Amino acid sequence: RALAGGRVVNAKSYALMTTPDTLNNGKRLNYAFGLVPGMLGTHRSIGHGGGVNGFTTSSIYFPDDSVNVVVFSNSDRGPDPLALNIARAVFGIPLVAGPKPLVAVPLPDTDRDRLPGVYDLLPPGGGKFVIHIMVENGQVVTQAEGQGQGKFPLVYLGNLQFGAAFDPSLRVTFISENGAITKMRLEQGGGTMEGARRP
């Protein structure tokens, strides 16, 4: 509320933080300068999630209603569905069933051993998002480059697609060309990035 009330940044900066930007190609983002604006029914929201080894968080502020929902979790499933259902309960909106748990399928060693490498993903806003894929104790794990980026295991779902227990929206798909893994696609929270594997 201090942020929304102008005690942290000025009104112009807060407007930039809460207004989705538009790319040069005209595509409208669902992300602003640091926060995610949205709607839950007729209720305007501003929120963001986060995570590091051991816990994940979700924070959703409804400025017109003076309601703030914050969920901290150290379970295997992300806190976003719970935070949204708490908000639905407050506003009298019907609850939504949470995502189904991931169902892991066996990953052949030959497929597993083709995946390790460094992948340069291209975010929609430009720049590069670097992902490292490794095999540790027979498990495929991933870690993004950058400060505070934790390492976590991937759950194999079949057809060279993986998920993550802590975030049901996350999907990592490896793309094979002529039997070699050449690209990776990352989908999370409605956004998609894709990029090539380094030689």
More confident residue, 98 or 83: 83
Mean pLDDT of 62-89: 88
Q: To the nearest 10°, report the CA torsion of 163, 179, 137, 107.
A: 50
| pLDDT band of 198, cuts 50, 70, 90 | very high
| pLDDT band of 77, cuts 50, 70, 90 | low
pLDDT given at position 150: 79
Q: Could you write out the DSSP letters of every residue in 148-181?
A: T---EEPEEEETTEEEETTEEEEEEEEEEETTEE
pLDDT given at position 180: 92
pLDDT at 197 over 80: yes
Choice among 2-6, 72-76, 109-113 with the minimum mean pLDDT: 72-76
pLDDT at 126 over 90: no
**DSSP strand E in the chain: where?**
36-40, 43-52, 55-62, 67-73, 117-122, 129-136, 139-144, 152-153, 155-158, 161-164, 167-177, 180-188, 191-197
pLDDT at 192 over 90: no
Single-letter code of the amino acid located at 149:
Q
Instruction: Report d(CA 39, CA 22) in Å as an integer.
Output: 19
| pLDDT band of 155, cuts 50, 70, 90 | very high
More confident residue, 119 or 125: 119
Mean pLDDT of 62-68: 94
Using a 10 angstrom Cβ sphere, with 0-12 exposed, 13-18 middle and 19 or more buried, the burial of residue 35 is buried
Beta bridge partners of 132: 118, 143
pLDDT given at position 195: 95
pLDDT given at position 76: 58
